[in-house]
């Protein structure tokens, strides 16, 4: 029993980690935006718009399997990008109560940092190499289509570095507040 309030202590994790800096919050939200143009381009193709492909070049994208793949890729990339927001929000530090068994417990620092850092490294490596594919003209795309696709994919170059910067900020904040997370309120 707490003498000051007259209530029993709750077995909750109390989050006393300092808030994320404004630049990190903006960078986390920006990750979702840099993925959006390519996702919308693929969704246009799922809906039957050739999106820069010639009539012959678009034929492989008209199959059910390729439509499922493009839809899955678009939604999956956007969801992964949105996970970055967890690095600047309380649900990335303490598991929300609605999650069975682990709700209310602190997120282990390395359980968030290691996957985010690896993701940032992979994304940075992939988008350092893959931009070369749109710099080469494709026979199955129109010249304008190739240019538009290059412009739509260009923001993805920022995805990895943004995730890396937000991850570093998360690590520093959580590390600084590690001694401040308590089990009893």
pLDDT digits (tens, 9 = 90+) for 87-122: 999 888 888 889 898 888 999 999 999 999 999 999
Give domain status of residue 75, yes or no.
yes
Half-sphere exposure of 9 (CA within 13 A, CB side): 11
Q: Compute the distance between CA of residue 8 and CA of residue 60 in angstroms, rounded to an integer.
A: 64
Q: Is 138 among the domain residues?
A: yes
DSSP 8-state class, residue 89: S
- Asked if the structure places residue 12 within a domain, the reply is no
* Domains: count for the chain: 1
pLDDT in tens, 4-62: 444 444 444 455 678 899 999 999 999 999 999 999 999 999 999 998 898 888 888 88
Does residue 79 lie in a domain region?
yes
The verdict on residue 142 lying in a domain is: yes
Q: What sections of 47-63 are H helices per DSSP?
A: 55-58
In a domain, 43, yes or no: yes
Distance CA 43, CA 73 (A): 10
Domain range enclosing 29: 22-180
2 located within any domain: no
Three-class secondary structure of residue 36 per DSSP: helix
């Amino acid at each position: 029993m707490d003498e000051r309030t007259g209530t029993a202590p709750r077995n909750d994790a109390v989050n006393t980690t300092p808030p994320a800096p404004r630049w990190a919050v903006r960078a986390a939200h920006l990750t979702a935006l840099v993925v959006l143009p390519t996702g919308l381009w693929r969704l246009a193709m799922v809906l039957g718009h050739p999106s820069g492909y010639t009539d012959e070049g678009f034929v492989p994208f008209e199959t059910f399997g390729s439509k499922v793949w493009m839809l899955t890729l678009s939604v999956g990339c956007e969801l992964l990008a949105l996970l970055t927001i967890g690095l600047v929000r309380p649900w990335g530090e303490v598991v929300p109560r609605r999650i069975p068994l682990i709700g209310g417990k602190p997120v282990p620092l390395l359980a968030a940092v290691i996957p985010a850092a690896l993701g940032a490294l992979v994304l940075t490596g992939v988008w350092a190499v893959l931009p070369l594919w749109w710099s080469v003209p494709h026979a199955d795309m129109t010249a304008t289509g190739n240019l538009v696709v290059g412009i739509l994919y260009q923001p993805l170059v920022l995805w990895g570095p943004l995730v890396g910067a937000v991850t570093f900020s998360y690590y520093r904040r959580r590390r600084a507040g590690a001694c401040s997370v308590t089990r009893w309120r």
